[in-house]
Amino acid sequence: MDRNVYQSTDEPFYLDTGDNDDENKTTTPLPPESWDDGLSNAWTPEMIFRLSAISVLMLLTLLGNAVVIITIISCAELRKKRVNVFILNLALGDLMVCCVSMPAYKLIMAFSQWRLGTVVCKFAGYGVVVAVAFTTLLLTAMSIDRYQVRFYDVYSLFVVY
């Protein structure tokens, strides 16, 4: 594969005038101001609102999960319960989503394309997949744990010792 495919050139883009005749076909060069670099429609009021909303959600996620982590770590009796260990890990997973997925989404939304290079793109993609998979698998483990607690509590009422 040719590595020069994605390099930008200084050649102007041409506008097809719609003539289908090969001998009468004329092209008009577009002025450089009209070249679409991905930023022409990025800062609409809707986009500003969406970026602001994601920023507020990121801030609330950071604060809320930090409070949960500090509370569980600082209190010894909370660390002894299995549910609280799950909640602590879920807060860590949410922080991973907040620190990896949301900034990547904001960058793509703001610039309409990825501008941080291929290495950071691959690491960000990997981080997003790991964060979402971690959170999903943790929620599944919590559901299984809660099911087992419910099932064995109900089952123990009917068993004669």
Question: What residue spans define the domains of the chain?
Answer: 9-33, 45-158
- CATH placement of domain 45-158: 1.20.1070.10
* pTM of structure: 0.63
Determine contact, residues 89/142, Cβ cutoff 8 Å: no
Element housing 32 (H / E): none
Residue 51 scores a pLDDT above 50: yes
pLDDT reported for residue 55? 94
pLDDT in tens, 93-110: 999 989 988 888 888 888
Radius of gyration of the chain (CA): 27
Q: Which residues contact 27 (CB under 8 A, 6 or more apart)?
A: 14, 15, 16, 17
